[in-house]
Chain A
Amino acid sequence: MASPGGARSSALAHPVPDPPGPFLHLDHSSDQAARAADTLAARWEAFERGRRWRFFVLVPALLLAALAGGVLDLAMGFHVRLATWYAPMLVGAALLARSATRPAGRAGRAARLRHWWAPPAWRKPLASCREMLAAWADPSDQVRGWIDLSGSPQPHQRVAGWPRHGATLYRDVWCRLSIETRRLRLGLRAIEERLVLPGGRIRRRWRAHVVAVAREPYGRPPQLRAPVPGAAGRLQILAARAHRHRLSLRLKTPRRRLAWADLAEVLRVAGASVPLV
């Protein structure tokens, strides 16, 4: 398993991720990249199912068994505490089962009970990446980079200079891809910024940086036009800069998604050659 830091498109050093979230290192042709993303998603969905039923079966069963111990002693009428003595062990096992079935991609100590049955944090971003990779079906296209949904906050994600005034800023680059086709070189970086305020409140924002370089193997590459900042479907274009056949976009993305269909439309309008979604 190569370090994502070794991916060619990555300028940032990135340590080997600390599971438990999905992590995919890509250095594939486009069709293989899509298949790898599908395989990863299927495996994690199976894990999620296993995690859920274990939590919903084990934890209530252990707690009920602990309760039943106390009730059994009362019901038997022998005036001894026998099964009751085992209740703390069963409660301990229930707490352990709760901890061990913690949802992937969430910090254990901060997780609330509702997180156990909420949709997994990695599902939307992974689906969004799969959607984008699925669009590039030509085996001659190359995809490099990584998708890191191993969760936040992790120590290496803490931004230098933080914490300040009791607040800590984490920057989680959860997707860094470079896609190279005959007519386009696309670099993409999706970021979640997470500001943990004193008292545990959290503010998040999702950003994406896109660099598109048009290519033309048989002549001059086409000039790309900068789109007007503003809403573009579910995306918000914060800044756009074009220089000849090079386009740089700073985007605000919807909640942990790339919104590839909207991004593809923005690139197409700018004059880049992107596959139809």
Chain B
Amino acid sequence: MSRLGPVAATLLLLGAGDALVTHRLETLHGPRVTRWAASQEWSEATGDETWHVWPAKGAGGAARVVVHGSKSLAVWTLEGKRVAHGVIPWGTNVAVADFTGDGQEEIAVATENLPPAAPVSVQVVDQSMNEVTPNVGLLESLENPASVAIASFPGPRQVVAADFRGCLASLVGPELAWEYCFPNSKVGGDPYAVRHLLPVDAAGGLLLAGRATGEVDGIDAAGKRAWSFRLAEPLQTLAVARRDGGAEVAFAGGDKGRFALLDAATGQVRGSGTLPGMVMVARPAAWNGEPVIAAAGLAEPSIRHQYSGYVAMLDGRGARLAVTPVDGEVMDLVAADLDGDGTDELVAVTGAYRLLLLRPSGAVLIDEHVAEPSRTKLALVRGSAGPTLVVSAQSLEAKRVTHVDAPAWYAARPIGAAVGVVLLITLALLASLRPPPPQ
């Protein structure tokens, strides 16, 4: 009987299948299988629609949540108490960063004063809404403000605001430090707006300014252009990831799915590619301890079973580590390591009215309903009791994300090893079944 050869070959193939499945399952579920749950700790009405939510450090390192709405600015504690509230005009831009260097974060506000064409006022306030810098009106430097940032350049901190034409103005205290305009920044409007201002430490401190036209410029403390890059399509999102050794990489994503990874110090392209569709949001994240970029958005056309959204993980060279189709375009995304395994979990709000907690590899850990995805903003705030997910729409909700680890044996690798042993035993038993030879 010459059955041993095919039997051994088939069992080896099954063993290879076992190894592949184990690898895939471990990528998907991680080294430990975990059951996740989100419990609501508190929920408070904000009385305003939310535009942005930021985690912030308050006095004594206490965790705070800064909520920027269409007509209000509020600071909340992680226990659900509103500690400050201010009324702001519609169209105000806000940034949160440590301006004074005391460990507490301040709030920079850029407002278009009424009536139209009146000066843009820029001011920094603390978390109690007390004035840190005087309210400065910029008449000619800026039109409508499109974004604002607190830049941590060497020397005194600067507050930089940008407008819908493509011009930037920087203030040191009440003084105008510099002005900067992108080429052809004559006409104002959404297609020309500088919506992204990101300070980086690279090259002694730069401010990355991203314009809707696809231009990304690195600007130094004196307002000089250090480098310039142009994405071949309108810019939709800009994010910065810090790599090992302190090098920073800027991710620029376009509205047709193109992206580029730039060295934040030189503007040199480290990698580029195309994602399934418009990159609506990007965040720096970590995967197995390595810095990566989580980019998400709208898949056009739909991918895999008519999913119209995606979450992609890219390494520092732009290589796709994973692309997960999701139901509905991704409108907001945050990343944080919730279980301490060295890999960030992702929380995404999708256009299919879902709030998803995902592993970067694509495993859905929590799937909840949200009422207004387009108005839902997310923040992961690290408090003394661990990370809290803050979800803000018409109300501000704090959710505690908890997880229960499965026993160590209930994971892909031990089960795969057990199946491998079973296959080996099967092979050994079948191989030892040899019919007597003819005699």
Contacts and interface: CB of A to CB of B under 8 A. Distances in A.
Contacts of B423: 89, 93
B430 A97 contact: yes
Interface stretch (A21-29, A162-170, A223-231, A262-270): A21-29
Contacts of A100: 3, 7, 430, 433
Contacts of B33: 76, 78, 80, 82
B177 interface: no
Contacts of B34: 78
B21 interface: yes
A36 B3 contact: no
A129 interface: no
Looking at chain A's contact residues, the main secondary structure is helix
A51 interface: yes
Candidate in B29, B419, B436 with the most chain A CB atoms within 10 angstroms: B436
Interface residue tally on A, bucketed by range: 35 or more
B426 interface: yes
Given A54-B430, A82-B25, A89-B18, A43 B436 contact: yes
A65 B422 contact: yes
Nearest to A73: B410
Contact of A93 (B1, B25, B426, B432): B426
B435 A86 contact: no
B406 interface: yes
Contact of B21 (A1, A40, A86): A86
Contacts of B438: 1, 16-17, 19, 22-25
A117 interface: no
Nearest to A50: B433
B436 A22 contact: yes
A58 B426 contact: yes
B415 interface: yes
Contacts of B3: 20, 99-100, 102
Nearest to B26: A82
Nearest to A59: B426
B17 interface: yes
Contacts of B2: 19
B435 A58 contact: no
B295 interface: no
B325 interface: no
Nearest to A48: B435
A83 interface: yes
A101 B430 contact: yes
A90 interface: yes
B1 A20 contact: yes
Contacts of B433: 47, 50-51, 54, 100-101
A20 B25 CA distance: 41
B224 interface: no
Contacts of A54: 429-430, 433
Contacts of B11: 93, 96
B410 A78 contact: yes
Interface string B10-33: 110010011001000100010001
Candidate in A36, A43, A93 with the most chain B CB atoms within 10 angstroms: A93
Given A89-B419, A93-B426, A40 B436 contact: yes
B384 interface: no
B134 to A, nearest CB: 56
Contacts of A101: 430, 433
A39 B426 contact: no
B416 interface: yes
Interface in A14-63: 16-17, 19-20, 22-25, 36, 39-40, 43-44, 47, 50-51, 54, 58, 62
A217 interface: no
B91 to A, nearest CB: 44
A104 interface: yes
A19 B412 contact: no
A49 to B, nearest CB: 11
Contacts of A72: 410
Interface string B403-439: 0001000111001100100110010011011111011
B436 A58 contact: no
A101 B426 CA distance: 11
B35 interface: yes
B363 interface: yes
Contacts of B435: 19-20, 44, 47, 104
Contact of B415 (A23, A79, A82): A82
Contacts of B419: 86, 89-90
Contacts of A44: 435-436
A62 B430 CA distance: 13
Contact of A85 (B10, B21, B436): B21
A92 interface: yes
A199 interface: no
Given A78-B35, A79-B35, A90 B7 contact: no
Nearest to B13: A92
Contact of A76 (B29, B363, B406, B439): B406
B439 A47 contact: no
A22 B438 CA distance: 6
Candidate in A62, A78, A82, A92 with the most chain B CB atoms within 10 angstroms: A82
Contacts of A1: 438-439
Interface of A: 1, 16-17, 19-20, 22-25, 36, 39-40, 43-44, 47, 50-51, 54, 58, 62, 65, 69, 72, 76-80, 82-83, 85-86, 89-90, 92-93, 96-97, 99-102, 104
Given A86-B18, A86-B415, A99-B3, 9 more contacts: A1-B439, A47-B435, A76-B406, A80-B33, A82-B411, A85-B21, A93-B11, A96-B14, A96-B426
20 contacts: A19-B435, A23-B438, A24-B438, A25-B439, A40-B436, A50-B432, A54-B433, A58-B426, A62-B422, A78-B33, A78-B34, A82-B29, A82-B411, A85-B21, A86-B21, A86-B415, A86-B416, A89-B419, A97-B429, A97-B430
